[in-house]
Each structure stands twice: as C-alpha cells, then as structure tokens.
Structure 1
Amino acid sequence: MYKIKDKEKLFIYTGPDGSGRKTIAKMVATAFDMETVLSYTTRPPRHYEQDGVDYHFVTDETFNKLKDNQEFLECVDIDGIHYGIREEDIVKAFEDHNLVYLTLNPEGTEKLKEMYGDKVMRLFIYSDRDTVIERHKARNDKEEDIQRHLAHYDEIMAYKTQCEQVFENYDSPQVSYQVSEVIEAYLDRNRIVTDY
C-alpha cells in the first residue's frame, strides 16, 4: 500500500451519480494544483465519455488480470460492473502534486478512508432525486442506466452523514466556490503549501 507523505492529501468526491461530482471536482482542481486519478471500469463508455479522460475503460479480462496482479489499491463490484483505482496511478499523481482528487462511489471512498484516515477528506456532493433524473436525461443516458442509478440513490444518500463535508449541488459554479473555500481553509489550518 502506498504510504501518503506529510503534505499529501486525498480529496474524494462521492455522492449519487448525476449530482455533478465530476464537474465540481474539475472546477475546484483548477483553483489548486490538484491532480486527478481515474478509475478503471468494465462498463462501456457512455456516448459523451472518453477513455483516459473520464475512466479507463477495460475488458473484464484486463480488469481481472490487474486484480490478480494486485495492482488495485481498491476495487468494488456494483451491479456486476467492476471499478478500481490502480496504486501505481496514485503514486504517479503524488510525484508532482501534493493534492490528489478522485471521484468514487461510497464503497471505494470508504476503503480509501479506512486505509488513509485523516489524509482523506470526503466531499459528499448530492442533488435531489428529480434534479438527478433531469441531469441524466439531459445527458441522454439510457433509461436502464437511469433506473440502475436511482435504485442506489437512497443507499448512497445515507452515506453523507459519514463524510467530512456535504454540499447540495444546486448550482455548480457556486458550489465549486464553496468547496474551494473549505479546502483552502483546511490547507491553511494544516499549513499545506500548494502552487495556486
């Protein structure tokens, strides 16, 4: 397991799919010198997603090979779809950056929190069910995907009480500003110097 050094911090965005976690994470990252680490997944890309930008899209065979080689820091199975974070990617991200962010489901988030404790800040981003449905439809997601995500909505929402920070995403620029302020105060308290 990679040992996180003193100045290094992991920020993990979690919450229901369709809440705008990735959008906010990307906006916040521009305010700090923050690097992201992408998950590997066996699900097919959605029509607006790109390999190496949104996820590393791989076959079951490739995923299982990585898993057998113990290359994943954490991996989970949700509805028969595999997701995982490669340890090597975390190591590379920390080579040039003190601050690294991930967008994960609660299971993955919890595994990294257990591994790294206070080196991890969990940021729970959510929107109400109707807004989530609207966003899925605006992205032209398939009806079966929308239903699959909504089936987990309540269970994911229950995780918010365990996270260090919780934000309702009613307006992405506004919320990313609020998240940035929280992270800045946190870094100031911990005297973590970044290049922003």
Structure 2
Amino acid sequence: MNHIFYIMGKSSSGKDTVYSRILEDMELVPIVLYTTRPIRAGEHEGIEYHFVDDGCFNAMRDSGEVVEWRTYDTKCGKWTYYTAKDSISTDMGDRIGIGTLESYVKIREHLGDEVLVPVYIEVDDDIRFLRAVEREKRQSAPKYAELCRRFLADNEDFSEEKLSEAGIDKRFSNNGSLEECLAAVKMYISDFMK
C-alpha cells in the first residue's frame, strides 16, 4: 500500500526544511498544494505551491476538484490554501506533503487513516518566533504584522486539544539539531515504506 506522509507544524517550526530535505534523500513524490497567496522570495511555482488566483480556485472548487480549503483574512488580504484531488493521488507511489492540522483532518476523511501518515514537527514558541523574524527579514517587503497574526493563530490551530482530537501522538522536536529531527523523521517514514 502506498502512503502519504503529511508534514505539519506551526509556522517557523522547520517543517519546510524537513520536507525539502526528505525529498532530497528519500524516494517520495511531492504533493504540491495550491494557494492564492503571493509567491515569496525564493519560492517557485509548482515546487512550494501552485500559485493561482481566486478565479482558478473558485472554478476548481465549483467543479468538485477541491478536497479541502481554508481562507485566511491576513494583514495583506484574503489568502486561500487548498488541496485538489489531483494533488493527493497515490497512484504515483509513496508521497509526501505539507500542510495544516485542519487540512490533514479533511484529507484523512477523504483518503482514510491507513493511507495518510501524520508527521508533526514541534518547536518551542520562543525559538519559533525568532526564526520567523529572521525569515521575514530576508523578504524584499517584510510583513511583520502578518508574521504576528500567523504566530498567534498557530497557538489556536495547533492547540493540544486539536492535536489530540486529530490523533496526533507522535511528535518530532526541532528545538535543537535539525539533523537529529530529520534523522528521526526519516527513520519513522522508512518503517512505513518497508
């Protein structure tokens, strides 16, 4: 059976780095989600996301191609993130994706528990906040108000209650060594692929 390994964590937990390093080192096919958010410096179409406009999202949703979506009223306008059916087909082998706890729950409802495997990356808030500020500084037009909104929203979106309800009991700490976190995640995924 093919699996989808779904990387989750609060903003600046290192989930994007873990995701990209696993893609470099393991034979997994990436899931590319869609967003109406503007592309950030260093991002590429079809790699981090499919960057689309609201019209494309509405057309895909209306035609039944969208499995789940969420729209955030950010300091920079409304941004929608979503998963389309074409993104999560397991016909191409074992896959890896990245998303929110909310998207994980909805995709799991669509695919089932046996296919979708959660990988939750955890970082203490003080470390996470400093990482977020450093990342935002590198943007051509830093959006610190949005960083703060996202940071606070994550505490609610990834509350202990919601993690428990979603059945997330395995966690990978990225407080210290990224290499240790990465090694633990890779071993966990490898066990499923045997």
Q: TM-score range by the shorter chain?
A: 0.7 to 0.9
Q: 1:105 aligns with which of 94, 100, 117?
A: 100
- Number of the residue aligned with 1:185: 191
Which of 32, 37, 40 is the equivalent residue of 1:43?
37
> Does the CA-based 8 Å contact 2:5-2:189 persist in structure 1?
no
| Change over 3 Å in CA distance of 1:169–1:157 after alignment to 2 | farther
1:172 matched to which residue of 2? 178
Deviations 1:39-76 (A, max 9, x none): 11111122232222211111111111111111112222
Partner in structure 2 of residue 33 of structure 1: 27
* Structure 2: runs of 5 or more not aligned: none
Query: Aligned-pair distance for 1:20?
Result: 0.9
1:186 maps to a residue whose letter is F
- Say which of 46, 52, 66 aligns to 2:46: 52
Per-residue CA shift, 1:160-193, capped at 9, x if unaligned?
Answer: 43315211112222211001111222333xxxxx
What displacement does 1:30 show?
3.2
1:122 to 112, 118, 121: 118
Residue 86 of structure 1 is matched in structure 2 by 84
Q: What TM-score comes out, normalization by structure 1 length?
A: 0.83
Q: Distance in 2 between matches of 1:164 and 1:29?
A: 24
Alpha-carbon distance in 1 for matches of 2:29, 2:131: 26
Partners in 2 of 1:184 and 1:164 — Cα distance? Answer: 18
Structure 2 residue aligned with 1:147: 148
Alpha-carbon distance in structure 1 between the residues aligned to 2:193 and 2:87: 23
Residues 131-146 of structure 1 mapped to structure 2, 5 A cutoff = 131-139=127-135, 140=137, 141-146=142-147
Report the counterpart of residue 194 of structure 1 in structure 2. none
Aligned partners of 1:117 and 1:176: how far apart in 2?
23
| CA distances 1:91-145 after superposition (whole Å, capped 9, x unpaired) | 3xx343x211111111101101222222111111121111111111221252012
* C-alpha contact (below 8 Å) 1:123/1:164 kept by paired residues: no
**In 1, Cα distance between the equivalents of 2:61 and 2:192?**
34
Unpaired segments ≥5 residues, structure 1 = 1-6, 189-196
Question: For the residues of structure 2 that align with 1:88 and 1:109, how far apart are their CA atoms?
Answer: 16
TM-score of the two chains, using structure 2 as the length reference: 0.84
| Counterpart code for 1:39 | L
Instruction: Report the Cα distance in structure 2 between the residues aligned to 1:147 and 1:175, rounded to whole angstroms.
Output: 26
